[in-house]
Structure 1
Amino acid sequence: MLLCTSMEKILERYERYSYAERQLVATDLDSQGNWTLEYNRLKAKVELLQRNHRNYMGEDLDSMSLKELQNLEQQIETALKHIRARKNHLMSQSISELQRKEKAIQVQNNMLVKQIKEKEKKDKAPAQPAFWDQQNHGPDASSFLLSQPAGLPLPCLNIGGSHQEEAPEARRNGLGHTLEPIYSFHLGGYGA
């Protein structure tokens, strides 16, 4: 009995393996047929795509009917609308970016102009020596003028020119500033 059951198991396994092998062979034959069909289908699709590409490029139009030409024209117009919409979108983005850069450069330019103006103000500020301020505005300026005898004319400093008796009216220096004698300012306030 034991021999019989082991023999049955061996036969069962043999049948299972032989059945599985037959299935694999049948699948291989089917797959080869499927691969042939798939190849032919893909080959036809490639040929159609190549023909459409040539048609889109304006080639091989002689074999097309009027309806096919109208359909092709409509497809090209639709594609052109999409292309123009994308181009306009990209140009709009580019313009916005350039406007943003322009504003940033304008702000930077305004800051630089402001800095230049401030520097010019600092450079144009009169840099007078301290003794000049003391001489003109200090307490000794009026005492110097008052200590002169009343009948004597005040001395006049003439730098770089010949000595001449000049009237006390205003004179101009090389920069266009009026130079008046010192005593004309101070004497007017003392009743002269």
Structure 2
Amino acid sequence: MNQRPRFVDHIDLAALRTAVNCSRLFTKYLLNRWGAPSLIDDATLIVSELVTNAVKATGNMDEHPKWSELHDLKLIKVRLVGLEASVVFEVWDTSEDEPVLTEAGDDDEGGRGLFLVEELASRWGSYAQPRGKVVWAELPVYARTPGGLPIRQRKAPADPSVQPTQHDLGLLRRVRDGLQDL
């Protein structure tokens, strides 16, 4: 982050399944306090996925863990950094294993977390820390239309030879008209 942060806050959580919901509530609270409620849906999804991965890597995902399983409970740290044009989410855990973006099959119940982060965030990554790692994602703050809808910037295609899709305005109008007739 080369920009000076406008807002910074963090929370330490036990590496338990409940950390996921706590991190969502924390994120929602901060974004409301920072005056950025339009980011809440994407932000809580990103934080949920990053925290889920951190708990899976270092904690206990059981819905009802036994007391005997909690004797060496690890912590995770969730940090939000509000910049001028984006919010950065950082999740620290004690695992040294780097996150791996995988492709989940159609019938798989999980494995899409980092894919969702990659789709929502303008960029994401990880870096090593003396006792673990930090996985981070940056969510841009989009300009808004007069009606309040976000104006998202298109991501550049991975292959420069691929041209952006041209929209068939006639088809789009027919779809719009068909939806209005419903």
Q: TM-score range by the shorter chain?
A: under 0.3
Higher strand share: 2
Q: Who wins on radius of gyration, i.e. which is larger? A: 1
Structure with higher RCO (Cα < 8 A, 6+ apart): 2
Higher helix share: 1
Q: TM-score, normalised by structure 1?
A: 0.19
